[in-house]
């Protein structure tokens, strides 16, 4: 069972995600690499100086769509499939410039991940955007209280999400390097 998913992200070319790896579409392994959401493939990165977004999403389809959307718009992307893995990836030598965080995750939920990132001086400045299917106001407020800078209810409008990602990364860079 496999298939192809296409979506329009407000750009001239629709984004596509395969549910099965395409053997003929293997990347050039001499290029800088980023792990795919499935963890079994790598994709060339257009520019190693572009911002790195850590996508924390346990649903494979959603992780793949976010991975492709962000890559299509020039971001480098790393994917974590649970909260514990997100904390490990946030503490790597090349920290993410932003964390895109699902709140309902296995092992450690997104609210706990956000609190842990905010309470650690090494990660406290990384912007966090929460993605949630919980449209209940109390859940949204809980995400903000946990340390999320923004909260989007799924399915998040891609254009608005991309705009917020760029805005948060730009703001964080200005704090690091005052103008």
**What's the number of domains the chain is made of?**
1
Q: Is residue 129 part of a domain?
A: yes
Domain extent for 48 = 27-176
Q: Is residue 13 part of a domain?
A: no
Is the CB of residue 101 less than 8 Å from the CB of residue 77? no
Q: Is residue 16 part of a domain?
A: no
pLDDT for 178 equals 53
Q: Is residue 7 part of a domain?
A: no
Q: Is residue 87 part of a domain?
A: yes
CATH number of the CATH domain containing 130: 3.40.50.2300
Provide the b/e sequence for 13-30 (b: ≥16 CB within 10 Å). eebebeeeeeeeeeeeee
Evaluate if residue 40 carries a pLDDT over 60. Answer: no
Q: Is residue 15 part of a domain?
A: no
Q: Is residue 1 part of a domain?
A: no
What number is the average pLDDT over the span 1-14?
A: 40
Q: Is residue 2 part of a domain?
A: no
Per-residue model confidence as pLDDT tens digits over 117-133: 999 999 999 999 999 99
């Amino acid at each position: 069972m496999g298939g192809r998913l296409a979506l329009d992200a407000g750009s001239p070319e629709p984004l596509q995600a395969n549910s099965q790896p395409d053997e003929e579409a293997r990347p050039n392994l001499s290029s800088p690499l980023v792990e795919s959401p499935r963890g079994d493939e790598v994709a060339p990165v257009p520019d190693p100086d572009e911002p790195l977004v850590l996508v924390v999403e346990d649903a494979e389809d959603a992780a793949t769509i976010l991975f492709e959307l962000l890559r299509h718009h020039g971001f480098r992307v790393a994917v974590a499939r649970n909260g514990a893995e997100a904390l490990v990836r946030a503490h790597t030598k090349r920290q993410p410039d932003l964390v895109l965080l699902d709140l309902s995750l296995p092992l450690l939920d997104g609210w706990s991940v956000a609190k842990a990132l905010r309470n650690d001086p090494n990660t406290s400045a990384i912007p966090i955007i929460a993605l949630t299917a919980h449209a209940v106001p109390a859940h949204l407020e809980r995400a903000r209280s946990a340390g999320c800078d923004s909260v989007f209810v799924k399915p998040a409008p891609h254009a608005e999400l991309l705009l917020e990602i760029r805005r948060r990364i730009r703001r964080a860079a200005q704090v690091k390097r005052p103008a």
